[in-house]
Structure 1
Amino acid sequence: MQYHQLGKSDLHISEISYGCMSLGRDDADNARLVHQAMDGGINFFDTADLYDHGQNEISLGKALQGRRQNVIIASKAGNQWRPDGSGWDWNPRREYILSCVEESLRRLNTDYIDLYQLHGGTLEDPTDETISAFETLQQQGKIRYYGISSIRPNVVRTFAERSNIVSVMMQYSLLDRRPEESCFPLLEQRNIGVLVRGAVAKGLLIGKTPAPYLNYNEAEVTKAAAAIQQLSGAGRSAAATALRYVLQQPAVTAAVVGMRTAQQVQDALAAVRATPLTAAEIQQLRQVLPANLYEQHR
């Protein structure tokens, strides 16, 4: 396993990390998957208070009992469940963030969260108030570092310029190259790590039945998947090829991968051992389709 420093922090995280939203309701099954991932070298586990009404944090906390010192836990806040459970509302206020961390610490059964992330964001938010909350939590030792999870360039730019974030989680893949134009250069310049989600584009790049994705039609998605398959072989599966494309982008620190089965954990770990893409192969993939761009929130 390769480990990379996350931005300006002293966190060194596995380049393949665990997206815990994919975990189910069975604590024993979840523990087996988490332990399998840890045994394979994965040390970064990403959850959120939103996932399964907090049950995701509880299950992850149970799985990590006795092994907390060996892992880096990331969670998120900012989405407030309605009392009747019918949905959630956006709430980036200072008081709410400060209360959220207490509940996440309790559910995770830990004294601190390594990386605490704002789970979204808009330019209409009271950004300075939100930043103040994260800074306070850091000073109190309840979190070690903070970041954001957002695909909005204007939000990413605002936090990069006005806060001490060490990371941004965002969607990125061969079918979603929008961050290459507007976010990656800025984040790389400011030494802010990128945590990638969606590296296999909902499975469309690795064998799932083709369907339209973002601004690409079904035929274009098929073309991208075929290009991934063409560069796959004995030493590199389609999933590994898609992940290597993401991981070999200089701005990217890690790919956060959802894994629901033992086989999926095994496949994700195999990407670490896969033959790296050559510069020519990366260029070949980039030429398959015109790169898409962010049209909103620029």
Structure 2
Amino acid sequence: MNYRALSKTSLRISEISFGCMSLGNDHVANKALLHQAFDQGINYFDTADLYQAGFNEETVGRAFAGMRGKVVIATKVGNQLRPDGSGWDWNPRKEYILQAVEASLRRLQTDYIDLYQLHGGTIDDPIDETIEAFEQLQRQGKIRHYGISSIRPNVIREYCKRSNIVSVMMQYSVLDRRPEESCLELLREHQIGVLVRGSLASGLLIDKPAKAYLTLPADAVAKASASIQQVATGKTSKTSAALGYVLYHPAVTSSVVGIRTNAQLTDVVEAARHAIMPASSIQVLQQSVPQLVYDQHR
């Protein structure tokens, strides 16, 4: 497994990381899968307080109890669950963040979070207040670094200008190249690491039948999948090609992949070994599908 520095921090994280949202409801099974991922070189694990109403953080905390210093744990905040269980509301206020982090620390069985991320965000948020909360937590040692999870260019620009974020998590793949229009270069210039979600486009680039994706029709998705197959030669699998595409951009630090089974873990780890793509293959993939652009929140 290769490792990359996250922004200007001292954190070095695996270029393929574990999206814990995919975990099930069995602590024992989850621990086994997470430890297998760690044993195969994955050291970055991404969760959120929203996932399974906190159970996801708890299961990650249980899995890595006693070996905290060996793993990099990221979680997220901003979606406040309603007491009646009917859903959640967006809450980026400082008071809520300072309260929510305590529950996350408790569930994760740790006294610090490596990367604390705002789980969304809009241009109408009290952005300076949100930043104040993260900066305070950093001074207190409760978080090491902070970032945001967002695909909104206008929000990303504001955090680049006004904060000390070290990362942005965003959806990016051969099928969804919207970040290439402006966000990736902006983040590279600011030395802010990109954590990619959706690299495999929910399996549409790998093994699932073609269907419409975002604004792309099914035939465009099928063409992209065929191009993935075209560049997947030798030891390079379709998974390798899809991961290699997003890892090619210098702004990207890691691809966060949802892993549910041992078979998926084996496929992803093996694919990571052959995810180095030549420029010619990148061009083939870029030419295979129209580049989408963000039509909102610009």
Q: TM-score, normalised by structure 1?
A: 0.99
Q: Deviations over 1:194-217 (max 9, x none)?
A: 000000111111011111001100
Match of 2:13, SS? Answer: strand
Match of 1:257, SS? Answer: strand
State the distance in 1 between where 2:128 and 2:297 align.
Answer: 19
Q: What letter is aligned with 2:290?
A: P
**Alpha-carbon offset, residue 248 of structure 1:** 1.0
The answer for the alignment partner of 2:16 in structure 1 is 16
Count of aligned residue pairs for this structure pair: 298
The answer for the alignment partner of 2:196 in structure 1 is 196
State the distance in 2 between where 1:236 and 1:140 align.
Answer: 45
The answer for the alignment partner of 1:136 in structure 2 is 136
* C-alpha contact 2:181 2:293 (8 A) present in aligned 1: yes
Q: Deviations over 1:22-66 (max 9, x none)?
A: 000011110111011100111000000000000000001011012
**Alpha-carbon offset, residue 234 of structure 1:** 3.9
State the distance in 2 between where 1:206 and 1:275 align.
Answer: 14
Q: How does 1:94-113 map to 2 (within 5 A)?
A: 94-113=94-113
Q: Deviations over 1:68-117 (max 9, x none)?
A: 11000000000001111111100000000000100000000001000000
The answer for the alignment partner of 1:228 in structure 2 is 228
Structure 1 unmatched runs, 5+ = none
* C-alpha contact 1:235 1:275 (8 A) present in aligned 2: no
Identify the range of structure 1 (107-116 vs 274-283) with the bigger mean alpha-carbon deviation.
274-283
Match of 1:210, SS? Answer: coil
Match of 1:274, SS? Answer: coil
Q: Deviations over 1:173-220 (max 9, x none)?
A: 000000011201110000000000000111111011111001100000
Q: How does 1:236-251 map to 2 (within 5 A)?
A: 236-251=236-251
* C-alpha contact 2:243 2:275 (8 A) present in aligned 1: no
The answer for the alignment partner of 2:54 in structure 1 is 54
Match of 1:53, SS? Answer: helix
Q: TM-score, normalised by structure 2?
A: 0.99
State the distance in 2 between where 1:280 and 1:230 align.
Answer: 12
Q: Deviations over 1:132-169 (max 9, x none)?
A: 00000000000000000000000001001100000000
Match of 1:154, SS? Answer: helix
Q: What letter is aligned with 2:229?
A: Q
The answer for the alignment partner of 2:78 in structure 1 is 78
Matched, 1:165 2:165: yes
* C-alpha contact 1:150 1:170 (8 A) present in aligned 2: yes
Q: What letter is aligned with 1:243?
A: L
Root-mean-square deviation (Å): 0.8
Match of 2:181, SS? Answer: helix
The 1:138–1:275 alpha-carbon spacing in structure 2 relative to 1, beyond 3 Å, is closer
**Alpha-carbon offset, residue 236 of structure 1:** 1.4
Q: How does 1:257-268 map to 2 (within 5 A)?
A: 257-268=257-268
Match of 2:74, SS? Answer: strand
State the distance in 2 between where 1:108 and 1:123 align.
Answer: 30
The answer for the alignment partner of 1:91 in structure 2 is 91
State the distance in 2 between where 1:271 and 1:129 align.
Answer: 42
* C-alpha contact 2:147 2:168 (8 A) present in aligned 1: yes
Identify the range of structure 1 (274-283 vs 106-115) with the bigger mean alpha-carbon deviation.
274-283
* C-alpha contact 1:74 1:114 (8 A) present in aligned 2: yes
The answer for the alignment partner of 1:177 in structure 2 is 177
Q: How does 1:266-281 map to 2 (within 5 A)?
A: 266-274=266-274, 276-281=276-281
Identify the range of structure 1 (118-127 vs 206-215) with the bigger mean alpha-carbon deviation.
206-215
* C-alpha contact 2:46 2:73 (8 A) present in aligned 1: yes
**Alpha-carbon offset, residue 232 of structure 1:** 1.6
Q: What letter is aligned with 1:182?
A: S
State the distance in 1 between where 2:68 and 2:167 align.
Answer: 21
Percent of aligned pairs sharing the same letter: 62
Q: What letter is aligned with 2:295?
A: E
The answer for the alignment partner of 1:123 in structure 2 is 123
